[in-house]
Amino acid sequence: MWRVLDLALEAIAALLMLAAAGIACLQVFFRYVMNASLAWPEEVALWAFGWAVFIGMAVALGRGGHIAIDLVSRLIPTAWRPAHRFFVATMVAAASVMLVVHGIDFLSRAMQVSPAMQWPLKYLFLAVPVGGALNLCYLARPREGAAWTGLAAILAGGLVYLAVRFGAGFLYGEAGSAAVLMIVGLALIMLEVPIAFALAFGAFAAFAPLGNMMLVIVTQSMSSSLNSFTLLAIPFFIMAAALMNAGGITTKLVDLATHLVGHLRGGLGQANVVTNTLLGGVSGSSSADASAITKLLVPEMERRGYARAFSCALTSAASTLANLIPPGLGLIIYAALASVSVGALFVATIVPGLMAALALAVVVYLVSRARGYGADVPRSTGHQRLIALRNAVPALLLPLVIVGGVRFGVFTATEAGAIAFVFAIFCGALIYRRLTVTNFISSIREAVFDTVAIAVIIAAAAPFAWVLAAEQVPQRLAAAMGSLDAGLVILLLLINLFLLFVGLFIEMIAALVILVPILVPMVKAAGYDPIQFGIVLVLNLVIGALTPPLGMLVFITARVGKADVTSVFRAVMPFILALLVVLMLVTFVPVFTLGPLWLFGP
């Protein structure tokens, strides 16, 4: 029964994601082929996306697919780990009970209808309590050797919910909302509660003394936060990246890079950087690129004499380029949160992305020269390079279409993601003929849960950001910075140090949704361009994906490449230093980011 339920919910989430992509493509078709835009596609696509996320949230919980900081479980004694797992399950249950109770309360108050289809919005908001209830179902599922622990965690979670709901007013009252939000939310994150549930429960704890009317804001914010057409670009680009890997596009880019630079000192390392640069302009997902390139290049690099740890470290560092070259997912999320132009961000980040690629290539050359890596791959002939280029042309055209189309208003970033998804299917199935029904289904399943893990964090961070705004935390921080009487240079140095510290412990997506509402008003008040700051922020946080203890990209490459994690962290340090040099240049030399905008227009 559980297996059937799990597969059914997974199928529903995947079909809803596919429906959203199809509807977005339909809008582009009607606009440019039929010369008539439709009123309903955007609205229907957003409803499909919202329901897919909250249904997928429960399935991801059952499969351990939510993003969490893997820190405590590696530090505590083995004997304590069952107790720690029970604590995590209890807090997830408490957050889920909150979603059910206050989600239903919100439904009873919702009276609006959608503008295009005139559907009652309560049916959209219903996804939140349904998702919470499905979470509890998965927690209650009997598990081998511990059939009672799930029910016990639900009971304990219910008690925690009641204790906070009715005891918060006695403990800290209404005045401490912001402090409670930060302390509870961040403490739960550090204790390895999945980030989405930690943020949601932190917001609940902050609102608890304020009564039911204010608690409705938690579920309202979570459901409304996904009602953004820009955010729909995330699942589309993630699905496109997965299909590119399955359909052979990634392999063609690796072949092209190897033919171009494979004969140089550290040639396969240089090919690694070039491949990630080319693939970054197509996929937008660092984690997808890290996994794919590790599988393709690390074994060959080891056969050619490169240390396995160095190969994995290089791949993890180079995979950061996916978020620094359009269409990076970090850039899309920042644009949605900061209300800036996605097209402007895409243009502004091209030069910094190429600077980062060049910096990594310099490190590869220096390390390879010192250790004697490379220079054993024969130089490709001009004919071989032309064949490799011809095979890679379809993949190389896609980033030009995406950036040019978004920048010049041909289509939105979301529609560009849907087009990339369809293009990946076309290339994989008809041009490269590597995409089969089996690996198509497998890729979509993987992409849906990658999307859910990100989107649930964005949803859970919405009430978190609401509390910060209501308590005027950004304004207070800006005033505090202003009282230091430090110039813009000192302010930017302090922000960079703060962001690098945050990146040690918090995953990029979570950090974006928490920090953008705080930092963007501050830098705007200081006269710093929000487009330039977006690139600085994303660059800081992708560096954090390489640093311990979180270091998500390092963990991905070490796991896929079967390398020692500690050795990979040591090997990645020169690449981090190179990216820090790029960070300082991007932060303090505006022409690198704003120059292309001055050239091509705002």
Residue 414 confidence (pLDDT)? 75
Q: Which amino acid is at 207?
A: F
What average pLDDT score do residues 95-104 get? 92
| pLDDT of 526 strictly over 60 | yes
What average pLDDT score do residues 298-327 get? 86
> What angle is formed at CA 513 by the lines to CA 162 and CA 139, rounded to 5 degrees?
40
> How does pLDDT run across 205-229, given as a tens digit for each residue?
888 888 777 788 888 888 887 877 7
Residue 129 confidence (pLDDT)? 93
Higher pLDDT, 567 or 585: 585
Higher pLDDT, 133 or 114: 133
Residue 571 confidence (pLDDT)? 92
> How does pLDDT run across 219-272, given as a tens digit for each residue?
888 888 787 777 777 788 778 878 877 887 777 877 888 788 777 777 878 888
SS3 content of the chain, % helix, strand, coil (to 5): 80, 0, 20
| pLDDT of 145 strictly over 60 | no
| pLDDT of 602 strictly over 80 | no
Higher pLDDT, 477 or 557: 557
C-alpha distances (whole Å) from 191 to each of 64, 185, 202, 567 are 16, 10, 13, 26
Residue 344 confidence (pLDDT)? 87
What average pLDDT score do residues 578-591 get? 94
Higher pLDDT, 561 or 601: 561
> How does pLDDT run across 8-24, given as a tens digit for each residue?
999 999 999 888 888 87
Q: Is 172 helix (H, G, I), strand (E, B) or coil?
A: coil
Which token pair is 372?
């004697």
pLDDT band (50, 70, 90) for residue 91: very high
Torsion angle of the four alpha carbons 160, 164, 165, 170, in this order, in degrees rounded to the nearest 10 = 150
Residue with tokens 């969490």: 68
What average pLDDT score do residues 132-149 get? 80
How many residues are given for the chain?
602
Share of the chain above pLDDT 90, in %: 21
- pTM of the model as a whole: 0.75
Residue 485 confidence (pLDDT)? 60
Q: Is 18 helix (H, G, I), strand (E, B) or coil?
A: helix
Residue with tokens 């902050």: 206
> What angle is formed at CA 172 by the lines to CA 170 and CA 177, rounded to 5 degrees?
135
Higher pLDDT, 32 or 386: 386
Q: What is the mean pLDDT of the chain?
A: 83
Residue 256 confidence (pLDDT)? 83
What gap in Å lies between CA 537 and CA 437, rounded to an integer? 39
Q: How far apart are the first and last CA of the chain?
A: 56
| pLDDT of 560 strictly over 70 | yes
Residue 434 confidence (pLDDT)? 85
What gap in Å lies between CA 575 and CA 266, rounded to an integer? 15
Residue 412 confidence (pLDDT)? 74
Share of the chain above pLDDT 70, in %: 91
Residue 525 confidence (pLDDT)? 81
What average pLDDT score do residues 477-497 get? 74
DSSP letter for each residue of 331-352 = HHHHHHHHT--HHHHHHHTHHH
